[in-house]
Amino acid sequence: MKAKKVLSLALAAIFAFAAIAGAADDYNRTDPANVSCTNCPKCPLANIPCPGTVTIPGPQGTSTTVTESAFPFDFDGTPAVAGGFGAYGYCAGYNQADDPTRNCKFIFDLCSCDQACQLVPGQRMGIQIYIKTAGVYFADPTMTTVNFGIWQDVNSLCANTADKEPAVTVMQPAPYYIGATSGNRISGDFAIDKEEIAETGSEIRNFGLIKYYRTFSETLYNSKGKFESAVSNEGLPLGGALTTSVPVANRVVALQSEYETDYVITKNDAGGQCKLWIDIPAMRVDPSVPKGTVIQIQVRLLFNRLVSGVCPECEPPDVCDCTIDVGVVCCDVTVDPTTGEFCMYFPYMVQGIELSAGWASGLAITSRNTLPDDARLTFTMTDSAGNVATYINNDVNKIWTSMVENIMPNFTGATLVPGAVSLKVSSNYSMDGYSFLTNGTGMVGTLARGCNANQCAP
Q: For residue 235, what pLDDT is reported?
A: 97
* 63-72, 306-315, 374-383: the lowest-pLDDT one: 306-315
Note whether residue 216 is domain-resident: yes
Task: Please state the rounded mean pLDDT for residues 289-311.
Answer: 82
Residue 21 DSSP class: H
- For the cut 50, the answer to whether the pLDDT of residue 18 exceeds it is no
* 284: in domain: yes
- Mean pLDDT estimate for the chain: 80
pLDDT at 118: 65
User: What is the DSSP secondary structure assignment for residue 111, as one 8-state letter?
Assistant: G
What is the reported pLDDT for 86?
45
Return the CATH number at 394: 2.60.290.11
Q: Where are the beta strands (DSSP E) in 189-266?
A: 197-204, 210-219, 228-235, 254-257, 263-264
Residue 209 shares a structural domain with residue 90:
yes
In a domain, 315, yes or no: yes
Same domain, 86 and 189: yes
Q: Which of 273, 304, 329 marks a domain boundary?
A: 329
Whether residues 292 and 373 share a domain: the answer is no
Per DSSP, the three-state class of 87 is coil
Last residue of a domain, one of 329, 355, 386: 329
Looking at the structure, tell me whether residues 422 and 298 fall in a common domain. no
Distance CA 410, CA 242 (A): 47
Residue-wise pLDDT for 320-332, tens only, equals 899 999 988 887 6
Which of 341, 325, 345, 331 has the alpha carbon at shortest distance from 291? 331
Residues 294 and 315 in one domain: yes
Nearest to 211 by CA among 235, 228, 229, 230: 235
Give the pLDDT of residue 5.
40
Do 83 and 190 sit in the same domain of this protein? yes
Does the pLDDT at position 6 exceed 80?
Answer: no
Neighbours of 183 (CB within 10 A): 11
What is residue 15's predicted lDDT score, i.e. its pLDDT?
A: 33
Do both 346 and 323 map to the same domain?
no
Q: Is 9's pLDDT higher than 50?
A: no
Q: What is the pLDDT confidence band of residue 452, given thresholds at 50, 70 and 90? A: low
Same domain? For 375 and 287 the reply is no
**Count of structural domains within the chain:** 2
| Domain co-membership, 167 together with 265 | yes
User: Residue 388 sits in which domain range?
Assistant: 342-450
Tell me what the mean pLDDT of segment 367-395 comes to. Answer: 88
